[in-house]
Amino acid sequence: MAAPPVVDARGLTKVYGSRRVVDGLTFAVASGEALGLLGPNGAGKTTTIRMVTCFAPPTAGTLVVVGFPMTPARHAAIKARLGIMQQEESLDPDLSVEKNLTVYASYFGLGHAEAARRAEELMRFTELAERRGEHIRTLSGGMKRRLMLARALLNDPVLLVLDEPTTGLDPQARRLVWERVRALKRRGTTILLTTHYMDEAAQLCDRLIIMDDGRIVAEGRPADLVAAHVGSEVVEVYASGAEESALGRLTDGPWRSERVGDVLYLYLRDGQVSSAMFSALEGLDFTRRRASLEDVFLTLTGHALRD
């Protein structure tokens, strides 16, 4: 028999005043799965995370997290089984790396010896053991993010929630955080993740939910979403200065096309690349590339800027 889902949301809804921020979400996170929530600003991702982590009560629907129904009486039991890596840095600047871990461990009732053991294990896991005595203000942004990840793992959580885990990090620091998250996946840790980085979602998540206006607009494995909503390749034609008749020949093909400002996007599926298409492209400025998750995101949620 399959294990029950670690998160089971049905008709999950959150209303603030007259605004329905989350509108009837139904989804589940299986044990050992890494599920990503994607969406533009205002899509409802953060509110969904706040409901899952006991910080915002649902307005309607049912929500079961780590085996407990989401009711005030169960909040303490749920939080004891969650590890939360918040987007905002919340480390104690007056404490060392090690003390940030051992002091936080006391909130979960871990004794001194167990807290010290867990802190040592996690400092090694996040490659911070040599920084154990340093104060937070001396750490780089990447080190702080790794320390927040270590802190989220102190209680050996049933569910690890990662809210924008690599925002603001340089490429090297991002890659190191990715390596640690992949190691957790290999251990069978269940992960719920939000990110604005499409490459991060493709690298770390087994399955994705794309949200817009509080609803789910697509759900599936990253590669399946690309294949279903975009295709195999994208040709970007830089239309500035191009004759409209030349662009018209491209939009008349069997592929899907979309004009956004001065760029014409051609979304190609296997078998649609032909000599006729490249004849139509002759003399135009264009780029041909593989379809990506970013193309899916923009196709489903639009190209307009969201603030």
Under CATH, which number does the domain 32-43+72-226 receive?
3.40.50.300
Report pLDDT for 61: 98
Confidence of residue 303 (pLDDT cuts 50, 70, 90): low
Higher pLDDT, 88 or 54: 54
Q: What digits encode the pLDDT tens for the residues 96-141?
A: 999 999 999 999 999 999 999 999 999 999 999 999 999 999 999 9
pLDDT value of position 277? 79
pLDDT computed for residue 121 by the predictor? 97
Q: What is the pLDDT of residue 306?
A: 59
Query: Which pLDDT score is estimated for 35?
Result: 98
pLDDT at residue 254, rounded to an integer: 83
Q: Give tens-digit pLDDT for 260-284.
A: 888 999 999 887 777 777 888 888 8
pLDDT of residue 233: 92
What does the pLDDT read at residue 114?
95
Contacts of the segment 273-276: beta carbons below 8 A, 24+ positions apart: 273/233
Above 80 in pLDDT, residue 305? no
Environment class of residue 248 by beta-carbon count within 10 Å: exposed (0-12), middle (13-18) or buried (19+)? exposed
Count of alpha carbons within 13 angstroms of residue 275, beta-carbon side: 0
Q: What token pair was written down for 242? A: 């191009």
**Which residues of the chain form CATH 3.30.70?**
231-291
What mean pLDDT, rounded, does the chain reach?
93
Determine the pLDDT at residue 252. Answer: 79
Topology, domain 231-291: Alpha-Beta Plaits (3.30.70)
Share of the chain above pLDDT 90, in %: 81
Q: Report the pLDDT value the prediction gives residue 248, as an integer from 0 to 100.
A: 83
Angle at 198 between CA 287 and CA 250, to 5 degrees: 30
| 8-state DSSP, 4 | P
The residues, ordered by sequence, that sit 6+ positions from 245 with a Cβ below 8 Å of its Cβ are none
Judged on CB neighbours under 10 Å (0-12, 13-18, 19+), 229 is buried
- What was the pLDDT predicted at 197? 93
| Per-residue pLDDT at 224 | 97
Which residues of the chain form CATH 3.40.50.300? 32-43+72-226
pLDDT band at 307 (very low <50, low <70, confident <90, very high): low
CA-CA distances (angstroms) from residue 136 to 3, 26, 97, 128? Answer: 40, 40, 7, 12
The yes-or-no verdict on residue 304 having pLDDT over 80 is no
For helices 171-186 and 141-152, what crossing angle results, to 10°? Answer: 20
Please report which confidence band the pLDDT of residue 226 belongs to, taking 50, 70 and 90 as the band edges.
Answer: very high
Q: How confident is the model at residue 215 (pLDDT cuts 50, 70, 90)?
A: very high
Cβ neighbours around 231 below 10 Å, total: 19
Sign for the pseudo-dihedral over CA of 45, 51, 55, 56: positive
Task: Please report the pLDDT score of residue 237 as a whole number.
Answer: 93
In sequence order, what are the beta bridge partners of 260?
263
What is the Cα–Cα distance from 101 to 136, expressed in whole angstroms? 12
pLDDT digits (tens, 9 = 90+) for 233-262: 999 999 887 777 878 888 877 888 998 888
Look at residue 245 in the predicted model and tell me its pLDDT: 80
What is the dihedral sign for C-alpha 39, 41, 42, 45?
positive
Strand partners of residue 28: 8
pLDDT over 70, % of the chain: 98
